[in-house]
Every structure is written in C-alpha cells, then in structure tokens.
Structure 1
Amino acid sequence: VLPVLILVLAVTLTSLLAVVYLHHKSGMPSSSVYQTAETEAMKQYDDFTALVNNAVKPDDWDEGAFNTMKQAALDAYDQSFLTTIEAAKNGDAAARDQLNATSEITVPEQPEKIRLFEQFFTDSSAWPGAIVNLAASDPSMVDFILAYPSANKDGNRDAQIATDALQDLKTANPDWGYMQYGNGLFVQTGGAPTAISEVFSWLLQDPTFNPVTVADFARQYEYDLTPARDGDSIFAGAALNWGIPMNPLPAYQTQIGDALAAGDIVILQQGDNENPHFLVATGVDENGMWIIQDPTSSAPASAVDPASIIDSITAAFAFWL
C-alpha cells in the first residue's frame, strides 16, 4: 500500500508542477495575486467608463462639446496594465516577465487627468457652460476646460512674455484665460488685449507687458465693453498710453500689404464694432502671403492669401518703433 501511495503522491506532485510550468510558459499568472489585481483594475475601468457613458448633459452644455469631453475622458484612461495582463495570458513572454518581476502586483494609479474627469462628470455644477462649450469647436481645449475649478480667475499680473521673438499669444493661456473680461470670460472676449500685449511686449521689449496689464487698462476706460467704436478704439488708446506709434489703415489690401512689407505689425479687425474679431498680421512671406496669428484660436500662425480675407477686414492698425 505504501509504495502505491508514494507513487500516487509523486504523480500528483508532478502533475501540479507541470500545470504551474505550463501556466508560466503560456503567460498565465501563476499566483492569485495577479488575478486579484486584474479584477480590481477591470472594476476600476468599468466604473470609470460607466460614469462617463451614463453622465447626463446639463442644459447649458452643448451636445457636441459634451461628447468631445466624454471621448477625451475615455481616451485618457491608462489601460496599459490591463493590456499587459492580457498579453501575458496570450503568451507574450515580455509581458509575463514584467508581471512576474515582483511578488506583489498592485494596480497602478491613473493620471491626475482621470481624477479631474471623474470630478467633471460627477459635479457638473463646477463648470459653467461657457467654459465647457469651448470644446464644441476646438477639442484641444479639453485640458483648459478641466482646469477651470482650481484656476486663477483674477489673472496672473506677474506673467512674463518672452521677448526674444514676437510671440503668438492665446486668450486661452491659463495665466489670463479664466478671468472675467467684458461680457464674458477672457478666453472668449480677450482677443484685443491679447493682440496688443503680443505686439507691445515685442516692440517695447517688456516681458511684463502681459494681457492682464492691457485688460486692466481696458476696464479703466471701458474698452473691455466696446473695444472698437466710432472715432476711438482700444488700439488708439493703448498706443497713446504707452507711446507706441500707430497708423490706422483703410481696410484695403494694398495699404495693409505695404505696411507689412515695411516691417510694421498690423492688427486686423474682422466684423463690425459690435462683434469684432481680431487677428495679428506679422509680415509677408516670399509668396506674398500674410502671416496671420489668431489670439482666440489654438491654431499656430499661418500664411494666408490676403485676397481670401480682405473682404472681411473692417479696420486695421499698424504699429512700429
């Protein structure tokens, strides 16, 4: 009986060792700790996707913006841990070795961005529609939107502007984009002071000449409410205040092109005085295209055929030193 018992135990032990070996060779976790970690990671992922997919859109949020934020949240989730486990199960030796490199397997923390998305879809009241709806036309605004609750709403008056080259400043910069300006948030309404800051900081070689500085000046003289008005404009007022030469140009392609060719920087106004949009023309390229920067767009400077925009230009202001 004893020899038979020993033989049975030997066969059983050999079988168990074979199973462990085969599991190891195939990349299957050899310890329940792996399965526990995988289960926890999958639950966290399922909970997050359920939160995002089941979120209810507030009435003042644009449908397109809401969907953009949802997709951005799903794309931001780090699934690399789950991917590694799945690869190990499918026989990937590198993934198996990565998992077996430690005796303790813990689910990695998600990026801080995921915590912000969880807050975003849990406490929608912390985000006004005016901020969220920026994502409708520009998906690159997602990070700017997420940062809103903890952002500086007063503007950073100590913000520095690089003066080694003419900068392409944007109204969505966190140093000033969240402050109230005119009848809205600076990110939407701050095109004029951003353009002025861009031009004047370069001409004066003054790194402290930021958009918050111009916004303070604009509020003092109510240019924040009407940046361009008959016989006056924030550009004329700012030029006088800071001693920058300025020439108001007729909205003609020849005059604007000549000013750019002479080295002037020209701020262009599109639209009427009630709904103006401002661009900064910084020069002319070898093909006669105007180099245009748009303070309210995340897009970089681009070469634009002047014939394609001249009909939309209603005013122009040339600056130089």
Structure 2
Amino acid sequence: MLYVNVIEEPSEEDQKGKSDQEMKETNITDEAEKDKIATHVKAHAKKARKKQLIKHVTVVVILAAVITAAFTGYYMHQEQINAKKSAEAQKEEQLKETEVSKMTPETEAQKIARIKKKAQKHGYPKGVIELLDKNAETVDFVADYEQKKDNPVADTIGVDLSQGGIPELLQWDERWGYAPYGSSMVAVSGCGPTCMAMVAAGLNQDETITPAKVAAYGTQHGYVDANNDTYWKFMNEAGANWNLKSQSCLLNEEQLSKELSQGHPVICSMGPGDFTKEGHFIVMTGYENGNIKINDPFSIKNTNATWTYAQIKDQVKAMWVFTKK
C-alpha cells in the first residue's frame, strides 16, 4: 500500500494573520527604538542646556568680577587723584602765602589773623586757636600745629644744668607743647606741669625731666580735672616723685627773699591780673634789690621782666616752696 504525505499549505487567511503579527511586532520594535532615541535626544538636549547655562553663568560671573574690579580701580584712582589735588592745593596755598609775605612784609596783627584763619579752616583744636588771643608769642606754635603735632617729644629740655639754677621753660615750646595733658595738651593747659618740670630739673640738675614727662605723670595720677586744670594737690604731692619736698605757705616779702636767696624756688598759683584772666602757675626763682625773678611758662615777655613784691602780692593765691629731700 502506497502512502503519500500530503503537506497542507497554509491558507491565505493564515498567511495574512502571520503577516499582520510580524508587522505588529516590527511596529512595536520601531516604537521602542523611537522611544529610546527620543529619550537619548532629550537627555542630550538637557545636558547641552545645562552646559549652556553653566557657560552663561560663568560669563556673567566673569563680567561681574571685571566690572567690580573696574569700579574699584576707578574709585581708588579717584581717591588718589583727590589726595593729590588736596596736597597740591595745600602746597599752592603755602607758596601763595610765602609769595605774599615776600612781596608785602606782614605786621604782627596780619600774621596772627592769617594763621588764625588757616587754623580755623583746617579744624585745629579750639584751645590751640585760642592761644593766639591769649599771647601773640604763640603764633609760630599754632602755625606749625598741623606739621609738627605728631613729632616725637624731646627726651631732654636741652639745657646744661651742671651749674645749678632753675631753667626757663615754655609750655608751648614745640619740643613738648603738642604732648597730651588730660584731654588737652601741654601748650594749652600745662602751666602746672611745666613749672614743676623747671623746679624738678633745676634742683636735681637733671635735663631729662621735661614738661611732657611731668604732664604724663600728672594725667596718670589724676592731678588734672575735667577742665584740664591742675589740682593744687599736684604741687603738694607730685614733687616727691622727683625727690623734692614741698611746703605750702603764703610768704611775706622778707620770707620770700630768704627762701629765694637760699636757692629754693617758689611755685605760685596766680589769680586774674598781670599773668592770667582766670588762673595760672608761675615760678619765682630769684630775689635781688627788691626785684623778683619770675619764670612764666606761658610768656617770654613776663619772664624777661622784673617784678616787685608789691606788684604781684595781691594776685598770688597760693605758694609752694621746694627743696631737695
């Protein structure tokens, strides 16, 4: 018996179904690939945008830094220009003043007026400006204030004391006049310390005792009040720091003559009169033929004059006789 294998071919409907399935699978694959590509494109675009943003931020930061540096440099340059202009203006003003003084010699009153105007313009301390009204001799001290106020203070009074005697010192001497005393300065308020410096330096023959050092001692130990006036107890007590003994008393002419003849200087507190309108300290250093030698720490004129007891006795408020211990 003969067997014949008959292979049944798929029907047209089956083939169509298979084709549709394959096409469907192909479409699914294509969609997945598209999604994958789209995701990749999005990621790449996001990364590109991020890089672009960073680039933009970097540019902005750099521009900001450049602008800031430019403005800083500009303002620093302007400050330098302004400082230079100020220095040049000050120099020009000084040259102008010099030229004017050469062309037309100033009177004392004109010089004082010019210095006072300059001092007010430049904002000098009130006490410094007022020196001009109190004593014309201080005009150079006031004129030099701005230039010399920060100079180092002298270490000595610059006087040979080996032969004894009481030195003549001025509170507005530029070597120490700008030094502080209380909340003021020696030139303005330091008559007391300057008198003590004369006495201590003379009796000890020690030129290193300067008004500035004595003023510093007075400030440190509370011998100056809120108005920068020196307490009388400074004369009673402070001399001990320089090996001095002080005796407070009011002397008649005979007693005064005796103390001065023995080399005992006498510091006096003076009221209104020939030496002050309010209060002041002076030093009596000698007596001869009825004349008293006085060292006035504020006035060369008064120091060079001779005085009688009768002239000054009613102006004396207190006296302190000084001797070495």
Distance 1:237 1:155 in 2: 28
- Tell me which residue corresponds to 1:162: 159
- Tell me which residue corresponds to 2:266: 266
Q: Go from structure 1 to structure 2 and tell me whether the alpha carbon gap of 1:257 and 1:292 turns closer, same or farther (over 3 Å shift).
A: same
Distance 1:223 1:75 in 2: 46
Q: Go from structure 1 to structure 2 and tell me whether the alpha carbon gap of 1:74 and 1:290 turns closer, same or farther (over 3 Å shift).
A: same
Larger radius of gyration: 2
Distance 1:216 1:141 in 2: 22
- Tell me which residue corresponds to 1:177: 177
Q: Go from structure 1 to structure 2 and tell me whether the alpha carbon gap of 1:74 and 1:149 turns closer, same or farther (over 3 Å shift).
A: closer
1:70-81 map, 5 Å? 77-79=101-103
What SS does structure 1 have at the residue aligned with 2:300? coil
- Tell me which residue corresponds to 2:213: 213
The Cα shift of 1:122 comes to 9.5
1:190 partnered with 2:193: no
- Tell me which residue corresponds to 1:303: 306
Distance 1:139 1:219 in 2: 28
Q: 1:227 corresponds to which letter in structure 2?
A: T
Conserved 8 A contact 1:265-1:283? yes
Question: Is there any run of 5+ residues in structure 1 with no aligned partner, and where?
Answer: 1-46, 52-72, 81-113
CA distances 1:277-311 after superposition (whole Å, capped 9, x unpaired): 111101112x2111111101232332101111111
- Tell me which residue corresponds to 2:148: 151
- Tell me which residue corresponds to 1:279: 282
- Tell me which residue corresponds to 1:142: 139
1:1-321 map, 5 Å? 77-79=101-103, 121=118, 124-153=121-150, 156=153, 158-164=155-161, 165-225=165-225, 227-229=230-232, 233-271=233-271, 276-285=279-288, 287-299=289-301, 300-321=303-324
Between structures 1 and 2, the one with greater helix share? 2
Q: Go from structure 1 to structure 2 and tell me whether the alpha carbon gap of 1:210 and 1:121 turns closer, same or farther (over 3 Å shift).
A: closer
CA distances 1:119-159 after superposition (whole Å, capped 9, x unpaired): 96498124233222322232232211111112234861523
Normalising by the residue count of structure 2, what TM-score does the alignment of the two structures yield?
0.57
- Tell me which residue corresponds to 1:108: none
Q: Aligned pair count?
A: 212
Q: 2:280 corresponds to which letter in structure 1?
A: H
Q: 2:134 corresponds to which letter in structure 1?
A: S
Distance 1:204 1:238 in 2: 15
Distance 2:214 2:313 in 1: 27
Conserved 8 A contact 1:269-1:315? yes
Question: Is there any run of 5+ residues in structure 2 with no aligned partner, and where?
Answer: 1-91, 105-110, 273-277
The Cα shift of 1:221 comes to 1.3
The Cα shift of 1:192 comes to 0.7
Normalising by the residue count of structure 1, what TM-score does the alignment of the two structures yield?
0.58
Q: CA RMSD in A?
A: 3.3
Conserved 8 A contact 1:215-1:224? no
Q: Go from structure 1 to structure 2 and tell me whether the alpha carbon gap of 1:124 and 1:290 turns closer, same or farther (over 3 Å shift).
A: same
Conserved 8 A contact 1:282-1:290? yes
The Cα shift of 1:77 comes to 1.2
Distance 1:118 1:277 in 2: 25
Conserved 8 A contact 1:168-1:301? no
Distance 1:280 1:301 in 2: 13
What SS does structure 2 have at the residue aligned with 1:228? coil
Of 256-265 and 187-196, more deviation after overlay is shown by: 256-265
Q: Go from structure 1 to structure 2 and tell me whether the alpha carbon gap of 1:150 and 1:174 turns closer, same or farther (over 3 Å shift).
A: same
Q: 1:208 corresponds to which letter in structure 2?
A: T
Distance 1:122 1:213 in 2: 27
Conserved 8 A contact 2:115-2:142? no
Distance 1:216 1:251 in 2: 30
Distance 2:99 2:178 in 1: 25
What SS does structure 2 have at the residue aligned with 1:216? helix
The Cα shift of 1:243 comes to 1.5
